[in-house]
Every structure is written in structure tokens, then in C-alpha cells.
A and B are shown apart, each in its own frame.
Chain A
Amino acid sequence: MAERLGNVLLALRAERGLTQAALAEMVGVSRKTINTVENGVFVPSTLLALKLARALGQPVETLFHLHENEE
């Protein structure tokens, strides 16, 4: 059973009308970081996950969830 981290960052960002650059500015990271987290390319640290959740006004468990893929 492979597990990966899913997120609804893109949906929440779009809901608030924020660009990647705007969210990056709010969190204090690069646009690249937002891009890679949104695409599931990069698993963020706990610190970054909490910062993203705070910037979007959501609990961190709303933003991130576990995908369990049967292999």
C-alpha cells in the first residue's frame, strides 16, 4: 500500500482569487514552492504546511490529506 500526500491548495487558492505569486508572498516562500506543493511534486515541511493553512484560513488537515493507493 503506497501512501502519498494530497492537497486542495489549488482549489482553495482559486476560491480566494489568489495567484501563486500572491500566496507565495503571503507565506513568504517562492512561487516555485507553491507550484510544487500544489502539483504534489513536493511534500512540504510541517512548518510550511502550517503557514499555508494559516494564510488560507483553514486547518491544516483540511488542506492536506492522505491518499492510499492499492498497488
Chain B
Amino acid sequence: MTTPSDIDLADRLSRRRARMFPLLGIYFIAGQAVFFRQAEEPARIAAFKISAWLVWAIVLLVALAFAGGHFRGAKVRALVEDEVSRANRLRGYATGFWAAAAAAILLYVVNMFEPVTGREAIHLILTALVGAALIRFGTLERRALRDG
């Protein structure tokens, strides 16, 4: 049986997620400027930055796929992950797919004029995918939570 406190808690968690995801997506995309600004830097620093980016990307992907109501019990989790959220997440995935495809096409064109390494290409495609999916999912959730 669902209780009013479950509904309230699920509402608060959904709002928090809806506020955070677009900001995380924008921050993740904007943060990529750091990687392509400095041409030369010590290998150890470059390796650290790449590892940090990879961890960050994986954390955001996991958050996109699973975040919402964990550690709050099955009922709250089911309310946070209701059919509206599941549909919004699928739309977020679709947006991520198209952003990744657009990034891949852009890189293909750029590569005709300037060489792009495999790592750079993966970096940009994954950034576009994760960032766009997070922003879209969060925006749809905010719209769904809007009253009236």
C-alpha cells in the first residue's frame, strides 16, 4: 500500500533529479573544453584527466540509467521510476543517440581537414551522447513535474 509519505518522498526525489540532470549534462559538455585547450602537457596529467573524464562519464551513464529512489525502499523506487519517468528516459536515450550520430558525422567531416585520433573521437561522441541524454531526460522530467 502506497502512503502519503511515500508519494511526498518520491515527489521530492523526482524534483531533485529533474533539477540536477540538466545541470550535470551542461556541466559535463562544458567541461570538455579543458581537454582540447592545452595542446602540450605532461603525460601523467593527461592520463589523469582522461581517467577522471572516463569515470565521470560512466557515473553519469549509470545515473541516467538507474538513479532515482535507491536506498528508499521498493515502493518509493517504483514511484520515482513510474511509467512517465521510464518514457522520459527512453526519449532521453533517443536524443543521446541522435547527438552521438551528429557528433560522429561532424568528426568524419573534420577528419578530412584535420586528423582526429580515435580517443578524441570516442571522447566527443560519448560526451555528446551522455550530455544530450541527461539534458533531455531532466528537461522532460521538469516539464512533467510542472503544475497545471
- A contact residues vs B (CB 8 Å cutoff): 21, 24-25, 28-33, 35-36, 39, 41-42, 44-45, 48
What is the interface residue range for chain B against chain A? 20 to 34
Given A25-B2, A30-B11: A41 and B144 within 8 A (CB)? yes
Contact A21 B143 (CB under 8 A): no
Instruction: Tell whether B114 is near chain A: CB-to-CB under 8 Å.
Output: no
Out of A21, A25, A29, which one reaches B82, CB within 8 Å? A29
Contact A32 B4 (CB under 8 A): no
Instruction: Tell whether B46 is near chain A: CB-to-CB under 8 Å.
Output: no
B143 nearest CB neighbor, chain A only: A41
Instruction: Tell whether B128 is near chain A: CB-to-CB under 8 Å.
Output: no
Residues of B within 8 A of A48 (CB): 83
Contact A30 B84 (CB under 8 A): yes
Give complex CA distance A28, B87 in Å.
18
Contact B147 A25 (CB under 8 A): no
